[in-house]
Amino acid sequence: MIECAVWWAEPLPNESRYLTFLDEPERGRHQAYRREIDQRRFLTGRVLAKTVLGDRLGRSPETIRFDATCADCGKPHGKPRLAGTEFSISHSGDRIGLAVTSAPVGLDVETDTRRADDPLIEYALNETEREALTGLSAEEKVTAFFQYWTRKEALMKATGQGLKIPLHSITLIDGRLAASSDAALDPATTRLADLTPGEGYRAAVAVLTTQEIEVREQLWPG
């Protein structure tokens, strides 16, 4: 059994006391966002991660420097990494999350206010999964769809490949990875858990491990 700790935060304000946490590439990304709320989500994700990881490593948060180099283009907009740690950041609406554990991990949170119409369902779910929605009411279908969606997103993030893995290549049954045609995901070495980010949101975490996971969620700051 391994522990997976998850923190939930709300967007921080664009204030100097938080902006000092950003290094030069991160400041560039922060300023590139046109909407203030997007700036605040990005800022909060970085402050949250650096505070939690700094505490775990016995380091000042301001000294934490992530490597976010994109494997495809070399620009600093990829998944943030820090040697000796395994973590994942996700945000949607007014919810920013951080998952930390001892194995490759992916976290996804989504607002559940989007309509789960047929084109979106067909885009995200394969035939086996769509059949599982048959007979559900409209409300039940929305709930089930976003459970599938967040679980799949979490799985893809855990591999580090993201959307390079086709959504239809992943088959989920009863909340577990049943099959995948992509070599990066193996049901034997994958664990999933649904989370409780609050009303109006759905979330899931995926950990690439053979062990069972124990998830502990908490609000930040505590």
Q: Can you give the pLDDT at residue 135?
A: 92
- The mean per-residue pLDDT over the stretch 23-49 comes to 97
Res. 106: pLDDT tops 80? yes
Instruction: Provide the 3-class DSSP secondary structure of residue 47.
Output: helix
Q: What pTM was computed for the model? A: 0.95
- Please choose, from the candidates 69, 81, 83, 87, the residue with its C-alpha nearest in 3D space to the C-alpha of residue 29: 69
Q: Can you give the pLDDT at residue 133?
A: 94
Q: Can you give the pLDDT at residue 74?
A: 82
Is the Cβ–Cβ distance between 49 and 8 less than 8 Å? no
d(CA 102, CA 30): 29
DSSP 8-state assignment for residue 48: H
Q: Can you give the pLDDT at residue 214?
A: 98
- The mean per-residue pLDDT over the stretch 38-48 comes to 98
Confidence of residue 198 (pLDDT cuts 50, 70, 90): very high
Confidence of residue 112 (pLDDT cuts 50, 70, 90): confident
Query: What does the DSSP assignment read for 133-170?
Result: TTT--HHHHHHHHHHHHHHHHHHHHHHT-GGGS-GGGE
Res. 170: pLDDT tops 80? yes
Query: How many structural domains are present in the chain?
Result: 1
Q: CATH number of the domain that 57 lies in? A: 3.90.470.20
Confidence of residue 115 (pLDDT cuts 50, 70, 90): confident
Confidence of residue 32 (pLDDT cuts 50, 70, 90): very high
Domain span holding position 215: 2-219
- The mean per-residue pLDDT over the stretch 50-77 comes to 91
Confidence of residue 174 (pLDDT cuts 50, 70, 90): very high
Structure-model confidence comparison of residues 18 and 222, the more confident one: 18
201-207 and 105-111 strand pairing:
antiparallel
